Amino acid sequence: MITRYLLPLPKLKSPGVAYHVGSCPPFLHQLSYHHRRPAKLRPSFWAPPPLPRSRPCGLAIASSDFCQVFGPGDAVGMTQSAASPPTTRLGSNLMTHGVKSPPLASALMIKTIIPLLFVGFLAWILQPIRPPPPRICGSPGGPPITGPRIKLRDGRHLAYKEHGVSKELARYKVVLVHGFGSSRHEAEIATAEAVQELGIYFVSFDRPGYGESDPDPKRSFRSLALDIEELADQLELRSKFYVIGFSMGGQVVWGCLKYISHRVAGAALVCPVINYWWPGFPSNLSTEAYYQQLPQDQWALRVAHYTPWLTYWWNTQKLFPSSSVISGRPKLSRRDLEIISKLADRQSQTEYVTQQGEFESFHRDMIVGFGKVEFDPMDLKNPFADAEGSVHLWHGDEDGLVPVVLQRYIAEKLPWIRYHEIPNAGHLLVLDNKEAILKELFTV
């Protein structure tokens, strides 16, 4: 059944002229404009009365454009038979008397089509902005669960991997926090001989959204620190443990020093990523360091900081260069390239790392790491005022991803930090300084 609506117009100069629109979509149902007092819009389930043929008395809109937009059979005021082309009840009157369509017809078409085009344009824009839902491990159609996991306070699961000597025999218990694009499987921090000699137990874990750890839409530095504390509790690592963070994982170590410092026996930040918007940096220094980045990285960080809701779109669109790290073309030092050439036979972990989706792994990292400042590490107080532990910051003077000038400033601002700057080293300096990092950490 076709619902018709009657909508009156204000008083017209020619009484009795009615504009009828026939079968069409709901938003273009029959309109009848009368010269008398306007009435409210009301449904009409009867057909309009036949119009006299003695004079021009109506307007029917029958356009091939409307047929294309609304589909066959929806043209306004159209009747059609198998033996004749589409015509209208009023078409003969209009053509016979040479009556032209009033401006209302064009306005009606414009008011109808423009909103449709606008909605279509928004849909085209917004579709790539909204990231796809993550493929949760263990869910129907999701990646399989291949290793041990713990269940956290909010119901999420955290995947982990144990290395080194057993917890019962260990002298040192260390939580390893992987960097951007890495996972719990890439935790080679020392040779087997050094591990046995020092008596070290390691546990690495997939950060939320990485590998087999459930995504955390509310991820923050505080939530990450609490995840680490809960992991240590469930694995019974005793009251205190060491933390070592690499690159993006170094930011997580700052969070541990902020939120769970009472559980930390010692900490090492290896080439930690910084946020250029930390208020403790002088503006001229952070600006200078910011512009040392590749242009595409400058834009990627701007997007993550000012418009985090565009981070997924920016790093998946093809109009402009996205993050150099995500696209696999980072700014590396000569030594970094030499190290990578030696590791060329290693199997890539990218598929495992992003198996639940790039948004909850890579893009969430960028939003948390470079977005709204949660706290400023330069405001932290020495967690080891009693000299029972120490915090170490390691950085290479040729690091192309994190400018060394900012680490130097942090070390000056926090004199209790033990700063180690390695000459001719880049962002991958951990692979050349594994045992040195451990021995310094365990030396009080």
The DSSP secondary structure of 156-183, one letter per residue, reads: -EEEEEEEES-TTT-SEEEEEE--TT--
- What is the structure's pLDDT at 443? 84
* 317 pLDDT more than 90: no
What share of the chain has pLDDT > 90, as a percent? 60
- Using H for helix, E for strand and C for coil, what is the string for 97-137? HCCCCCHHHHHHHHHHHHHHHHHHHHHHHHHHHCCCCCCCC
Q: Are residues 412 and 268 in the same domain?
A: yes
Lowest average pLDDT, out of 87-101, 202-216, 423-437, goes to 87-101
Final residue in a domain of this structure, among 95, 129, 163: 129
* pLDDT band, residue 108 (cuts 50/70/90): low
What's the confidence (pLDDT) of residue 259? 98
- Average pLDDT score, the chain: 79
**Number of domains, the chain:** 2
Is 8 inside a domain boundary? yes
**What's the whole-number mean pLDDT along residues 160-181?**
94
**Three-state SS for 31?**
coil
Instruction: Determine the Cα–Cα distance for residues 240 and 237; give it in Å rounded to an integer.
Output: 7
H or E element, residue 204: strand 200-205
Q: Is residue 86 scored above 60 in pLDDT? A: no
For residue 27, the model assigns a pLDDT of 35
* Residue 247 binned pLDDT confidence (cut-offs 50, 70, 90): very high
Position 95 pLDDT exceeds 50:
no
Tokens of 347: 């199997």
Task: Say yes or no: 115 and 156 in one domain.
Answer: no
Whether residues 362 and 333 share a domain: the answer is yes
Q: What pLDDT does 192 receive?
A: 84
Residues 168 and 255 in one domain: yes
List 158's β-bridge partners, or say none: 150
Clarify whether residues 192 and 124 are in a common domain.
no
User: Are 109 and 244 members of one domain?
Assistant: no
Indicate whether 92 pLDDT > 60: no
Report the pLDDT value the prediction gives residue 212, as an integer from 0 to 100. Answer: 97
Q: Is residue 374 part of a domain?
A: yes
What's the pLDDT score for residue 385?
A: 87
229 and 344 together in one domain:
yes
pLDDT tens-digit series, residues 110-146: 665 676 566 566 556 656 788 899 999 999 989 999 9
Q: How far apart are CA 439 and CA 444, in angstroms?
A: 10
- Show Cβ contacts of residue 119 under 8 Å, excluding neighbours closer than 6 positions: none
Tokens at 31, concatenated: 């309109």
- ∠ CA 194-200-201 to the nearest 5 degrees? 135
Supply the pLDDT for residue 193: 87
pLDDT at site 127? 60
**What pLDDT sits at residue 6?**
40
Residue 102 lies in a domain: yes
Q: Provide the 3-class DSSP secondary structure of residue 152.
A: coil
- In the prediction, which pLDDT does 36 show? 42
Is the residue at 264 inside a domain? yes
pLDDT, tens digit, 9 for 90 and up, residues 11-32:
444 444 433 333 343 333 333 3
β partners of residue 172 = 200
DSSP string, 34-75: -SSS----EEE-SPPPPPPSSS--------HHHHHHH-TT-S
H or E stretch including 259? Answer: helix 248-259
Regarding whether 76 and 182 lie in a shared domain, the answer is: no
CA angle 175, 177, 182 (to 5 degrees): 140
Residue that terminates a domain, selected from 129, 164, 192: 129
Residue 388 forms part of a structural domain: yes
For residue 141, being part of any structural domain is answered with no
The answer to the question of residue 68 being in a domain is yes
Does one domain contain both 205 and 308? Answer: yes
Task: Give the pLDDT of residue 392.
Answer: 98
Q: What is the pLDDT of residues 359-413, one digit of tens each?
A: 999 999 999 999 999 999 999 999 998 888 999 999 999 999 999 999 999 999 9
Tell me, yes or no, whether 261 and 390 share the same domain.
yes
- Whether 183 and 102 map to the same domain: the answer is no
Q: Which domain holds residue 89?
A: 4-129
Q: Which of the listed residues 96, 129, 162 is the one where a domain comes to its end?
A: 129
- List Cα–Cα distances, 221 to 255, 337, 377, in angstroms: 5, 31, 11
Separation between Cα atoms, residue 10 and residue 28, nearest integer Å: 19
Q: Extract the tokens encoding 395.
A: 């950085």
Residue 238 has pLDDT above 50, yes or no: yes
Phi, psi of 405 (to 5 degrees): -60, -30
Does pLDDT of 33 surpass 50? no
Would residue 142 count as lying in a domain? no
**DSSP annotation of 82:** T
Per-residue pLDDT, averaged over 247-255, amounts to 97
Cα–Cα distance, 155 to 133 (Å, whole number): 18
Q: Does this model's pTM top 0.75? A: no
- Pairing state between β 172-177 and 241-246: parallel
Question: Which of 282, 230, 240, 252 has its CA nearest to residue 377?
Answer: 252
Single out the residue of 43, 51, 45 nearest to residue 16, CA to CA.
51
Residues 339, 292, single domain; the answer is yes
Q: Could you tell me the CATH number of the domain that includes residue 156?
A: 3.40.50.1820
